[in-house]
Structure 1
Amino acid sequence: MSHPTPTTSLPLTPTKSPGPAAIAPNTLDQPPSWAPAAPTIALLTALGVLMVGQMYTVLALLHPMATALGTAPEQVTWTATAFGFAYAAGFLLAGPLSDRYGSRAVITTGLVAATAATLAVSAAPDLPTAIALRSLQGLTTATFAPAALSYVVHHIAPQRRGTALTCITSGMFAAAVLLQIGAQAVAAGLGWRAVFWLSAALMALSLIPVRRVLRPTLRHGTGGGLSQAFAAMPRLLGRPRMVALYLSTVALMSSFVAIYTAVAIAGPSGIAGNSSAILALRASALPALVAIPVLARLLQRLAAPLRAVLAFALAALTVAAGSFLGGHTVPLALALLLFVAAVAAAAPAVVETINATAPHARGAAVALYGCSMFIGASLGPQLTGALTGLGFGGILRVVAATLVLGILLALPALRHHRAR
């Protein structure tokens, strides 16, 4: 789940490094010296997997949670939906807060709050309480992604930013796979509540490297980041091409999560009930999430709108093909591999297009992008739940149609780019 995205000005392609005279001390965008790239990228990528992955842990826990909470797996999908909607709302708040108070402060505060909320989820006695606590967890974990990517923009040297952003966003997409695999393994041995205990412990321990590796953002004056970011949002939503890009993001992320939910609760024929086969399907996408960052420089030779359209098309084709593969694990795994690769390529292409479309309001534009991502991620489980009667193949065909809609929504940006 690319999920993942920046909330401030994000030049996704390298820019010229400023000369000594341009690097004035004590300014927001030009710190006295750039932060070390390698430890920063490693820390933020690992935290991205942990924090964004909380959205997806329950997809591997639907059956044990349903048994413990006295409900059906289809009803437990609401814990993913509640998390996603709260995460989307939190994204709109976290971006301006990072602009106003600094990325490290927001990440630190968010980790403390998310630790408490995650522990609370582990104690949920029934489904309504679990849904409410997952909403709180989504709101608190939403502080990480905007602040982390804002930190990259302000503290990593321009020639390293493209690599940093690609690694961190790929980690956020990898979270959808890694945290499902981890949650399935932990739940099998220790029960589903232990998944949240372990997640909370890792969040708390992460505070140590965050304070040691990340630098505080230097600020002077009040800046007005909050009011400026919020004021720009209604203007952006009045631009049809921007709205189309946001809706394409909803289509992309709802498809992404719907596929993984379908694997968990709709079970392709011959694989349903086989935990080893389901685990193999979940893990099959991992090579794609490694390959996309490696191929980032090559992919960036294509214009961002063209990359987005081509990636949507590949995703639609692979899902459509997968719908006819039945319970054959290996071909399905290959289709899922290509699908996840397409999603991981599409997400940064869309955010780069948004950056170029709104150069004077990038913070607000990309905050809305992050919000649309998690609205889509929230709708994915409900899409699958509503279509379970169609079977695994039928769900995949509807998802393929949703991705075709995403292509149509991304086309205006491509036409505008070519005309310009």
Structure 2
Amino acid sequence: MLNQTRPPAPPAGGTQATPAAAPAAVRPLPQILVIAAAALVITGQLYLALPLLAPIAADTGASTATVSWTVTAFGAAYALGFLVFGPLVPRIGHRRLIAAGLAATALFAVVTALMPTAETVIAARALQGCAAATFAPTAIGYLTRTIPASRRAHAFTALTSAFLASAVVAQVAAQVIADRWGWPAAFLASGAVTAGVAVLARLVLVPDGRDRATPLAAAYRGLLTAALLPRLLPFYLVALTLLFGFVGVYAAVRPTDPLGVAGDAAALLTLRATGLPAILLAPLAMPLLARLAPPHRLAASAAAAALLIGAAAASVPLAGSVALFTLLLGGFVFATAVALPAAMQATTAAAGDHLAGASAMYGFWLYIGSSAAAPVVAGTVGLGFTGLGAMFAAVLLAGSAAALGAVFLGRRAAR
């Protein structure tokens, strides 16, 4: 069993960075709240475009399939950016990089709103994804170094719950704003909110020292080492599956229309919002769930997510019940909200002296999965929600199996 209460590890490359404030001197709650707010607005940029694809296509004269690359361009740049910025975190400093990344993300949200063609919107979104990529690996490292071990499970749950809540909040807000003022207004509003959170991050987060002793080449070698560590490979596979399933399910709702509500904006809004209570419930359940070691919790919750989305997909042709589908979808969201912090905890606990590299690789695979979801749905939409749901269930079961493999490797290494 992996130990989830081990002290923070040094960054990849083996050199200890100057720590932030000692955990005893830090008030955890304000730190956690600001990091969660940043996660909400940063990750929300990915999901913001999902309900805007049709209006952007209509306004620019492009096809919806072409405009769907606004999601993929952001997600792919976001994932690849982890590999660039992850090893730089100890050299730049956690607070500095989080605040700067938020400010740049806000700027490119405004730039996206001003673009006149689908191609320029896609290019602006790719740049925005690069800017946003500064956040996730930096936030993981910040929480690991700053928050006491006794509060770390709650901190990771708040972070990942914000990641998931952003899928609901961003889509609902974007649909409401775009229906009234047009799709550019949704990006302008998100830019303003993100800029506000950047100011909060600069004011509230704890300043930390910078490790300039470790050469850049050594930092990137540390990333390569973390990418190839056998004990971490199963967690990367799980990361690949989790957001692929989650984003894929939400991307499939409109084109496949499992409940026959595609023409009803209010019904679509309600369906998108149904996952929010489940996401908010996950942190409340953490005191009970934390009794399970992170790898075991990960395997169980990923399997539960697979079974629940499989059942939701099967319910469409069998019953077509709105209430049943909504209940199963909420259960799927809850299971995913439990799986993500468990995956993060398990990965950081197994990282050892390669925390920065492991955090970057975890985020890379997590968002490679999320960025692949929309094009996969667009290319296989003919399967309907039932076929797509079965595919997502199979992928999530593979993630659960990988988590069980990590448990086996951990026990074998402990002998």
Q: Structure 1 length as normaliser, TM-score?
A: 0.89
Report the counterpart of residue 304 of structure 1 in structure 2. 294
Deviations for 1:177-217, whole angstroms, at most 9, x for unmatched residues?
Answer: 11111111111111111011011111222333223212321
2:67 to 51, 55, 76: 76
CA drift of 1:27 comes to 4.0
- State yes or no: 1:280 paired with 2:273: no
- State yes or no: 1:388 paired with 2:381: yes
**Preserved CA contact (<8 Å) 2:23 2:146:** no
Q: 1:62 & 1:249 partners in 2: Cα distance?
A: 26
Q: Where does the alignment leave 5 or more consecutive residues of structure 1 unmatched? A: 1-10, 18-25
**Preserved CA contact (<8 Å) 1:14 1:162:** no
Report the counterpart of residue 5 of structure 1 in structure 2. none
- State yes or no: 1:378 paired with 2:371: yes
Task: Write the mapping of 1:256-295 to structure 2, written as runs, cut at 5 A.
Answer: 256-295=246-285
Q: 2:383 & 2:286 partners in 1: Cα distance?
A: 37
2:349 to 348, 356, 371: 356
Q: 1:396 & 1:118 partners in 2: Cα distance?
A: 32
Change over 3 Å in CA distance of 1:301–1:31 after alignment to 2: closer
Q: 2:387 & 2:287 partners in 1: Cα distance?
A: 37
**Preserved CA contact (<8 Å) 1:100 1:225:** no
Q: 1:161 & 1:228 partners in 2: Cα distance?
A: 28
What one-letter code is carried by the residue in structure 1 that aligns with 2:396? L
User: SS state of the match for residue 312, structure 1?
Assistant: helix
User: SS state of the match for residue 270, structure 1?
Assistant: coil
Report the counterpart of residue 250 of structure 1 in structure 2. 240
Deviations for 1:156-184, whole angstroms, at most 9, x for unmatched residues?
Answer: 34433332222122111111111111111
CA drift of 1:125 comes to 1.5
Q: 2:3 & 2:102 partners in 1: Cα distance?
A: 26
What one-letter code is carried by the residue in structure 1 that aligns with 2:272? R
Report the counterpart of residue 333 of structure 1 in structure 2. 326
- State yes or no: 1:232 paired with 2:222: yes
Report the counterpart of residue 11 of structure 2 in structure 1. none
Q: 2:141 & 2:187 partners in 1: Cα distance?
A: 27
CA drift of 1:218 comes to 2.9
Deviations for 1:235-283, whole angstroms, at most 9, x for unmatched residues?
Answer: 3333445333212221221111110000132221422222222212211
Report the counterpart of residue 216 of structure 1 in structure 2. 207
**Preserved CA contact (<8 Å) 2:231 2:410:** no
Runs of 4+ in structure 1 deviating by more than 6 angstroms, as ranges, are none
Report the counterpart of residue 397 of structure 2 in structure 1. 404
CA drift of 1:16 comes to 8.1
2:46 to 46, 55, 59: 55
Deviations for 1:17-57, whole angstroms, at most 9, x for unmatched residues?
Answer: 9xxxxxxxx94155496332222222221121111110001
Q: Give the count of matched residue pairs.
A: 401
User: SS state of the match for residue 25, structure 2?
Assistant: coil
**Preserved CA contact (<8 Å) 2:23 2:148:** no
What one-letter code is carried by the residue in structure 2 that aligns with 1:61? L
User: SS state of the match for residue 260, structure 2?
Assistant: coil
Report the counterpart of residue 182 of structure 1 in structure 2. 173
**Preserved CA contact (<8 Å) 1:251 1:402:** yes
What do you get for the CA RMSD once the two structures are aligned?
Answer: 2.3
Change over 3 Å in CA distance of 1:340–1:273 after alignment to 2: same
Q: 2:144 & 2:342 partners in 1: Cα distance?
A: 17
**Preserved CA contact (<8 Å) 1:74 1:265:** no
Report the counterpart of residue 407 of structure 2 in structure 1. 414
User: SS state of the match for residue 271, structure 1?
Assistant: coil
Deviations for 1:305-360, whole angstroms, at most 9, x for unmatched residues?
Answer: 22111111111111111112224322121111111111111122222222333312
**Preserved CA contact (<8 Å) 2:112 2:124:** yes
Question: Which piece of structure 1 moves more, 198-207 or 79-88?
Answer: 198-207
Percent identity (aligned): 37
1:139 to 123, 130, 145: 130
